[in-house]
Amino acid sequence: MTTTIKDLGEIELLNRLKKYMSCGQIDDDVAEINTKNKSLLINTDLLVEKIHFSDEISNAKDIGWKCITTNISDLICSGSENITSFTVGLVLPPNTHWKWVENLYEGMLEAMQEFGGEIIGGDCSSGETKMISITAIGEMNLPRLHRGNALPGDYIVSTGFHGLSRLGLALLTSQKLPSEAQLSPELINRAINAHKRPYPALEALKALIACKPESISWRAAGTDSSDGLIESIRGICQASNCQAVLSKTSILKDTDWPKDDIWDEWLLNGGEDYELILSLPKEWAKSLSNKLKSAKIIGFIKEGKPNIFWDNLEKTKIGQSSLFRHF
Amino acid sequence: MTTTIKDLGEIELLNRLKKYMSCGQIDDDVAEINTKNKSLLINTDLLVEKIHFSDEISNAKDIGWKCITTNISDLICSGSENITSFTVGLVLPPNTHWKWVENLYEGMLEAMQEFGGEIIGGDCSSGETKMISITAIGEMNLPRLHRGNALPGDYIVSTGFHGLSRLGLALLTSQKLPSEAQLSPELINRAINAHKRPYPALEALKALIACKPESISWRAAGTDSSDGLIESIRGICQASNCQAVLSKTSILKDTDWPKDDIWDEWLLNGGEDYELILSLPKEWAKSLSNKLKSAKIIGFIKEGKPNIFWDNLEKTKIGQSSLFRHF
């Protein structure tokens, strides 16, 4: 049975979607947020079919997971560990199968079960192309991470390694690899999983909060590496008006990652990784890299016009990955 | 000069959009909401080109105004008089002219200047069809209006008259009118304006709050008439599990509205009107209709399986207007 959205009609579609929502918004158009005296963080992301997702690469459940987790990552890398609510705007062509929509929401719920939050409202409409608009809300905590909070003398910390998602995309779309290399089945598996099921760094944020030395303030800079490792550091340098010096040998790779240097491009500019990239006072950075196994100090911040160097003073190539040119 | 989005590229586009945003979100992906110890109301609406707007009917400034005001209306009809923030998700084909985008945001800002709020964040992406996703946030006040709050014995109040927007749409798209009728230039003007520049009932909400008799509680049911007058009452009956009895002679019309009965269809089911439709304790309803010139008691609520009758016990036709079947 392939029931389409057109078969259902708008009223029945909205009725079916209600089971995925918290009980607040059954009869009304708006939803309530009980703020419990906390300030909130809010983030809106758009995902457009063929640009951000496609049924050839991912099934609807994976797409649902991904659109929630990428939003969550933006909240986490701003310091929010308590994700509370989502609204979901959904544009669907009339011939979309109901099963696709059901799987999409199930993937979203799986992500919320893992990281927190519930759907409190939304809207849907027909349209020529599938489009998902997610607004995510979380409580504001300390540290309030900003790209613009870095200071000279900080250490730069990455909470995990990069490049897997880019490799996963290449494997899923049969793209040419940087070089002919024998990839282990485990690496292939991890890469595809990283691309289909991104996993935001909530545990890393919790470790960051738990390990702050008492003697220093909550000032910390941070972002996620969703646009690539180098791009995330470029963002910190730009917003903080400083320079980063990176140690290439300190940048972690998956144990099975090909040794050939040409593969570094995906490590540095692959994108769609969801690690925290932090600029922290030295003591805090050391504390975090001790506490969190996957975290590594990969460089430091110094004064100067925004730029990124390797520790041999070579300038990095920081051309933005073509992946993220949407226009 | 017709600079397109493709000419600008994503980074320059985002830079240009920043001037429309409050200063919070320049360097980061998320925005903050300072809740000042208040609970919040949130609403997400999608507007898709050719379904909710089209450049043939409205210019970009009008579209910007409309997408903000329709969202605001949802907050107002839930009881929020203090609109605080918006996020804007924008999907644009690469050949979209920058001027269109600029005008869209200027229309949005005009609406915010009139009704409150500021853009605190958003996202944009390319796509085949233009799409605007707005999330609006307002403070929660008393009365917290719900569709489900009506009780037998309540009076039903409309804060203004209906049908103008539907007539405006017909005039703008050269649709056939219900009958041949001589329309006054003033009516034509009001109708087109109602369609292009909907005006949410913020003053009516303020009057409702100001005129509540002290002796009664804040319990009140409400919605806006964006899906049509009858549909809004149907929503209240459904959610409150009760019946409405309406007095056709009490339903206000624009002074120049054609007398012919056949025009009632647009009055009752035209849609895209933004009046408050309230179900209130009698005393409060009388107080409001005294205080607010445009407000009128149009019927009452009684026990029974959800349904709507005229006061001559004739059942109304409550087939949902085909306008709102999006699939």
Q: Closest chain A residue to B10 measured between Cα atoms? A: A327
Q: Across the interface, do B125 and A10 touch by the CB < 8 Å criterion?
A: no
Give the ipTM of the model, two decimals please: 0.86
Which stretches does DSSP call E strand in A52-106?
Answer: 83-92
Q: How confident is the model at residue B26 (pLDDT cuts 50, 70, 90)?
A: low
- Residues of chain A with Cβ-Cβ distance to B46 below 8 Å are 89-91, 123-125, 133
Instruction: Write out pLDDT tens, residues A105-134.
Output: 999 999 999 999 999 888 889 999 999 999
Burial class (CB in 10 A: 0-12, 13-18, 19+), A313: exposed
Mean pLDDT score of chain B = 91
Instruction: Kindly state the average pLDDT of the residues B95-116.
Output: 95
- pLDDT of B300 > 50? The answer is yes
- pLDDT of A324 > 60? The answer is no
The pLDDT of residue A323 is 40
Q: Say yes or no: do domains B5-27+35-139 and B147-317 share a fold.
A: no
Write down the domain spans for chain A.
Answer: 5-27+36-139, 147-320
- Into which CATH architecture does domain B147-317 fall? Alpha-Beta Complex (3.90)
Lowest mean pLDDT among B21-35, B73-87, B214-228: B21-35
CATH of the domain spanning A147-320: 3.90.650.10
Q: How confident is the model at residue A19 (pLDDT cuts 50, 70, 90)?
A: confident
Domain A5-27+36-139 sits in which CATH superfamily? PurM-like, N-terminal domain (3.30.1330.10)
**Number of Cβ within a 10 Å radius of residue B142:** 12
Q: Which of B53, B126, B133 to mutate to test the interface with A (most CBs of A within 10 A)?
A: B133
The pLDDT of residue A247 is 94
Instruction: Kindly state the average pLDDT of the residues A192-218.
Output: 97
Nearest CA of chain A to the CA of B70: how many Å?
A: 11
Instruction: Write out pLDDT tens, residues B119-156.
Output: 988 888 999 999 999 999 999 989 999 999 999 999 99
The pLDDT of residue B72 is 96
Mean pLDDT score of chain A = 91
- pLDDT of B76 > 90? The answer is yes
Q: Closest chain B residue to A47 measured between Cα atoms? A: B125
Instruction: Kindly state the average pLDDT of the residues B159-182.
Output: 94
Edge-first strand order for the sheet with A131-139 is: A118-126, A83-92, A131-139, A40-48, B31-33
- Residues of chain B with Cβ-Cβ distance to A94 below 8 Å are 327
Domain B5-27+35-139 sits in which CATH superfamily? PurM-like, N-terminal domain (3.30.1330.10)
The residue whose two tokens read 């910190």 is A236
Instruction: Kindly state the average pLDDT of the residues A72-81.
Output: 95
Nearest CA of chain B to the CA of A90: how many Å?
A: 8
% chain A with pLDDT above 90: 77
- pLDDT of B189 > 60? The answer is yes
The pLDDT of residue A17 is 80
The pLDDT of residue B320 is 47
Instruction: Kindly state the average pLDDT of the residues A311-326.
Output: 58
Distance (Å, whole) CA A288 – CA B37:
33
CB contact at 8 A, A140 and A79: yes
CB contact at 8 A, B277 and B284: no
Distance (Å, whole) CA B134 – CA B74:
12
The DSSP 8-state label assigned to residue A97 in this structure reads B
**Residue positions forming the annotated binding site of A for Mg(2+):** 29, 44-45, 74, 123, 224, 227
Tell me the pairing of strands B118-126 and B83-92: parallel
Residues 180-219 of B with CB under 8 A from A: none
